[in-house]
A = this chain, B = another copy of it.
Amino acid sequence: MEVGIVFGGKSYEHEISIVSAIALKKVLTCKLIYIFCDANREFYLIPAESINAKRFSDGSYKKDPKLTLEQGGFTCKGLFGSKKIFCDVVLNLIHGADGEDGKLAGLFSFFGVPFIGPRLEASVLSYSKLWTKHLAEACGVKTLPYELLTPQQRTPSLAYPLIIKPLRLGSSIGVSVVRSEKTLEYALDVAFEYDDTVIVEPFVEGVREYNLAGCFTTQGVEFSIIEAPQKGELLDFDKKYLDFSRTATVSKAILEPSEEKCLKEAFEALYMPLFQGALIRCDFFMVKGEVVLNEINPNPGSMANYLFQDFDGLVHRLAKALPAPKEATVSYQYIHSIHAAKGKL
């Protein structure tokens, strides 16, 4: 199998996408075709053998062949016409904007490119923390109470401590824990730099957090092990950046079998059928014995490979179980019938 890794993107998480992409080289045995999307949203074919972070930061990727997206996939223009870049499937590894907001899903769906990653509806719903709440509600999964703030309405009514997040970003960018009114203004200023809407939730001190990844494959829904991430109050961007290069498997969280069952049921309720085609990671809290969704990562860092025993096999089985696009048929029956009845339109 030949897998195209699409990474980069015009995103605040551009760099961690590069790190994710390089990490995958260590855990996937199939042939990888690296397709870089630069900050100008131009695509380049990066030789897998010489991929390294510096190639992107110093701009030397610009000497690599430029690609165009056409019906059926990426092509490379040369002196003697276009050459198709063959991939059995492409893997959307762009984090944040472009990759998780639906742009890439729209592109790949439109151009008929088979891809691993969230589809359009799944992208838009999980990209916004507001619509994630609505999605969870529709799936019968609890979330924390919340309120939305805007530059015009900056006064929360929830009690401190609070956690303040830009409505539409991942990777902890612009996120703050606010313990009193004193630090509220600064935290809001930071968050509003990234979005014109901010979501506020209660910050639950010492809450147990569990990360569970999975996807629908030829074997049904396959789950990762459940990790209880070891971290401080918040993973800051620096730590998260390093976290995205993880390839060593982690140890399993200690959970009652009933708790593990509840987490997996919540995951499946959220995942099916909306996220078919994607490998997602759900971050849950366990509050008073109840599963509470914190967030959905539809393109988790380095595909959460470290949570799976057989990541390589999983990606193969996922690639063989992509949802068939629901395509409309086009007919001209009305134009034909009107022509027959009335002459030319």
Contacts and interface: CB of A to CB of B under 8 A. Distances in A.
Given A71-B41, A102-B102, A124-B121, A330 B10 contact: yes
Contacts of A10: 327-328, 330
A329 interface: yes
A39 B335 CA distance: 15
Contact of A124 (B111, B124, B241, B336): B124
Contacts of A19: 345
State the copy count for this chain: 2
- Which of the four size classes fits the interface of chain A? 35 or more
Contacts of A98: 110
A71 B52 contact: no
A111 B41 contact: yes
Nearest to A110: B103
Interface in A1-53: 10-12, 14-16, 18-19, 22, 38-42, 52-53
Given A12-B329, A103-B120, A110-B106, A345 B128 contact: no
Given A10-B330, A330-B14, A54 B344 contact: yes
Nearest to A16: B334
Contact of A345 (B16, B22, B97, B330): B22
Interface in A99-152: 101-107, 109-112, 120-121, 123-125, 127-128, 130-131, 134, 138
A70 interface: yes
Contacts of A336: 57
Interface in A289-345: 326-336, 338-339, 344-345
A327 B127 CA distance: 15
A335 B15 contact: yes
A142 to B, nearest CB: 17
B57 A335 contact: yes
A233 interface: no
Contacts of A338: 53
A52 B330 contact: no
A107 B273 CA distance: 24
Contact of A106 (B52, B107, B134): B107
A251 interface: no
Contacts of A127: 121
Most buried by B among A40, A71, A345: A345
10 contacts: A15-B332, A40-B71, A54-B339, A56-B332, A103-B106, A103-B120, A104-B110, A106-B107, A121-B131, A237-B334
The 9 closest A-B pairs by CB, nearest first: A106-B106, A57-B332, A39-B330, A124-B124, A53-B345, A134-B134, A57-B335, A14-B330, A53-B335
